[in-house]
Structure 1
Amino acid sequence: MSTANSLDTPFDVAAGDRPPLALIAGPTASGKSDCAVALGQELERRGRRAVVVNADSSQVYADLTVLSARPTEEEMGGIEHRLFGAWDGAEGCSAADWARAARETIADVHAEGAVPILVGGTGLYIRTLLDGIAPIPAIDANVREQVRAMPVADAYAALQVEDPERAARLAPADTARICRALEVVLSTGHPLAYWQQETSGGIGEAVTLYPAILLPERQALYARCDLRFARMIERGALAEVEALLARGLDPDLPVMRAIGVPELTGVVTGTCSLEEAVARGAQATRNYAKRQYTWLRHQPPEQWPRIEFENFDFKNITVILFRNLGLT
């Protein structure tokens, strides 16, 4: 078994080494994509090829180049990127779907003797990849249809009866999680907690993980969120939404609910002004960043380094990152 303590240490999977996996997580607009590229470039300067692997639930969609802030060719800095734009918007990408593709991609990168750098802020994706997923049976289509048709207040009341433990952990207006918990217990006869006792498919024990979580000062982060959405408009976000709407996709698909799509749809259909849509999109981005920040601060293992900083001095951030990953 490998005793490597640095990402740039050679590994031999055939000899039983646990291959390295770098993970850079952070809320949207925290600079994690730039850090991933900087890490890849540093590894390649040390003679180790690196590949950035996407763990962002919006950047998986080919239809969301601008609104997902997918890295441009220039921003990739000569480092190969995989699983960016890998799904057509007509096909939803669940955490299980992504984890399956990520497992295969990471295995391929390791087989090539390279170091995968996982980057993203979608906590469910990361947790599913590392820890595995609960073996929940397929949900009965009729049950799903009935649950999804219920007003959220009624669904929450039903969940309080069927699975009071789960209901107590959810906000009464959390439509997606309430519906998921209710359809599971009604369809399978067991609450989510029953199925989550046993997970499978995780790769956490098969790799040597080098994690780092970026946690910028909140107000600075929110300012970057506002700037990011404004720049998306400049880069063609409205045309991207027009193209999506022209496809006539199901409005319940994840790609149609991605931040910016519902807001800019109002501009395309003439129900709101661009100024209103930008304000709503920026607010939605800030709200999402806040949820990610909270999850990333509290949910990952305590031993995962949290890199906190007050300003976006990129050089200083990468110095701290490299030190935490054993590269200095």
Structure 2
Amino acid sequence: MTSRRRVVLIAGPTASGKSALALVLAQQQDGTIINADAMQIYDTLRVVTARPSEDETSLADHRLYGTVPASVRFSTGQWLSAVRAEMESIDPSRPLIFVGGTGLYFDSLLNGFADIPEVPAEVTLQVQQEIQDLDGAQRLALLRQEDAVTAERLKVADPQRLTRALAVKRATGRTLSSFQDSPQAGLLDGFDIDRMVLDPDRAVLRTRIALRFEQMFSGGAVDEVRALRALDIDPALPVMKAIGVREIGDWLDGVQGRDEAITLATIATHQYAKRQRTWFRNRFADWPRRGIAGA
């Protein structure tokens, strides 16, 4: 009887030690690490997005890190297609270790992802311009007119998700919810899956976040932001919203001092980690929890 292929899923908030744990497991099991973080997929920002260093990637096989140009808007569907291709190219005897903080990536791995046609950039831009002066209630009211189901699911008028829903409806004539509710299948059916969420103590995580951004600022993050700005790409692209890009950019422009840039980026990271923890708590409640890797 052939044994089932082993897969390890390591999710958790930023700075919780996911990459370090993945590297240890990959070395122990001769596994391949596959990125499940929506920001670490992009090039240009290795330090800012806390991608594994070159020394770390030399110690184990890493896939889908820094493989997408910053000028591209890379969707969850595209990530899932890239993962499928990587899985087909890796020796099936080797364990696959998915690691990252993007909950939707893990959800799509397990449950599939709606096959939504690509939305023209001009449609997305038109929607962004239409909602930019609306408050949260007005945005939700607009979405209810075109996709009441998605509006109810959102509850909070997150601009990015709301823009996506409206743009899909206008570009395809179908609601986002109708695509999402279509039958789907994940990529891991029949696999031997080990799931875990790193869920460190809040005080420990706050300390690690503060220390990490201080190290980033002096460890190459500033040069990366300069290089990103030199590309002169659309500020609405996902990579431009990476935490640290705006804060370091404001420092480079003389809008704020170094310490203030670090403080603001640290606060933004805390807020992001809180959102991640909430997402994992709600969607992955049955996944085993563990503290900081190596702590």
Q: Tell me if TM exceeds 0.5.
A: yes
Task: Give me the TM-score of the superposition, normalised by structure 1.
Answer: 0.81
The answer on 1:42 being equivalent to 2:58 is no
- The match for 2:241 among 232, 253, 257 is 257
The aligned counterpart of 2:154 is 170
CA 1:140–1:237: 2 relative to 1, 3 Å: closer
The aligned counterpart of 2:289 is 306
What displacement does 1:77 show?
7.0
The aligned counterpart of 2:16 is 30
- The structure, 1 or 2, with the larger RCO (C-alpha pairs under 8 Å, 6+ apart) is 2
CA 1:203–1:261: 2 relative to 1, 3 Å: same
| Cα distance in 2 between the residues matched to 1:105 and 1:288 | 29
What displacement does 1:300 show?
2.3
Residues 129-168 of structure 1 aligned to structure 2 (within 5 Å): 129-139=109-119, 143-150=123-130, 151=132, 152-153=134-135, 154-168=138-152
The alignment yields a C-alpha RMSD, in angstroms, of: 2.2
The letter of the residue matching 1:306 is R
| Cα distance in 2 between the residues matched to 1:92 and 1:135 | 16
Structure 1 residue runs without a partner (length 5+): 3-10, 12-17, 44-48, 316-328
**Contact kept in structure 2, 1:99 and 1:128, CA below 8 Å:** yes
Residues 1-328 of structure 1 aligned to structure 2 (within 5 Å): 2=2, 11=3, 18-43=4-29, 49-76=30-57, 78-111=59-92, 113-139=93-119, 143-150=123-130, 151=132, 152-153=134-135, 154-200=138-184, 202-300=186-284, 302=286, 304-307=287-290, 309=291, 312=292, 314=294
CA 1:139–1:52: 2 relative to 1, 3 Å: closer
| Cα distance in 2 between the residues matched to 1:200 and 1:110 | 26
The letter of the residue matching 2:73 is G
The letter of the residue matching 1:32 is K
Task: Give me the TM-score of the superposition, normalised by structure 2.
Answer: 0.90
What displacement does 1:314 show?
1.0
Identical aligned residues as a percent: 40
CA 1:83–1:187: 2 relative to 1, 3 Å: closer
SS at match of 1:75: helix
| Cα distance in 2 between the residues matched to 1:41 and 1:192 | 41
- Between structure 1 and structure 2, the one with the greater Rg is 1
Where in structure 1 do 4 or more consecutive aligned residues deviate above 4 Å? Answer: 140-143
What displacement does 1:155 show?
3.2
Mean Cα deviation higher: 232-241 or 140-149: 140-149
| Cα distance in 2 between the residues matched to 1:184 and 1:313 | 40
SS at match of 2:197: strand
